[in-house]
Amino acid sequence: MSYYAPLAKTDRPRKRDVSPDKLCEYCSGKCCRYFALPIDAPTNYEEFDYVRWYLLHDRATIFVENGNWFLMVQTICKALDENNLCKIYEKRPQICREYATEKCEYEDLFVFEKYFETPEQIEEYAEAVLGPRPGADFRTPKP
């Protein structure tokens, strides 16, 4: 079972051609396959180390959008059925009720200002932003 929503199907209608109340019938359930929480932008090595810790966990990524940092966890909602519809729609959580189809990612791909999948990527970015860690050799270690 994939935790990632499939790419847009070419045989499905465009978002603009579907009534907002029918959009979920054509969707891959992308919004139900991850959650993202805002985090503080790291400004020093200690804070970057916390971000590195997030990335040591399976299916966790970090992205930056409009200057804001987010922790994203790729995981399928337990209420999503095999047709990508909500099994508890009438009793869904408030956050789901507030999510409107105007914000729907039906045709969107994940494209961010910055995107980190591994602890090594965030470490490299920290060094680019902050310079070498204090006390660290500025040369790359020999292989």
Is residue 63 within 8 Å of residue 39, measured between CB atoms?
no
Q: Which amino acid is at 22?
A: K
- For residue 43, tell me if it sits in a domain: yes
C-beta neighbour count of 84 within 10 angstroms: 19
pLDDT at 10 over 60: no
- The torsion angles phi and psi of 90, rounded to 5 degrees, stand at -70, -20
- For residue 40, tell me if it sits in a domain: yes
- For residue 140, tell me if it sits in a domain: no
CA nearest to 81, candidates 24, 14, 19, 15: 24
81-102 per-position pLDDT tens digit: 998 889 999 999 999 998 877 7
- For residue 97, tell me if it sits in a domain: yes
116-133 per-position pLDDT tens digit: 999 999 999 999 999 988
17-33 per-position pLDDT tens digit: 888 777 778 888 888 99
Q: What total number of domains does the chain contain?
A: 1
The two structure tokens encoding residue 20: 């907002």
Question: Which pLDDT value is given to residue 138?
Answer: 56
Dmax (CA) for the chain in angstroms is: 60
- For residue 4, tell me if it sits in a domain: no
- For residue 48, tell me if it sits in a domain: yes
Q: Domain of residue 126: give its range.
A: 15-130
- Sequence length of the chain is 143
Question: Which pLDDT value is given to residue 60?
Answer: 98
- For residue 115, tell me if it sits in a domain: yes
CA nearest to 69, candidates 46, 96, 50, 92: 50
User: Whole-number mean pLDDT of the chain?
Assistant: 86
Q: Is 122 exposed, middle or buried (0-12, 13-18, 19+ CB in 10 A)?
A: buried
CA distance 80 to 58: 21
pTM of the model: 0.78
- For residue 89, tell me if it sits in a domain: yes
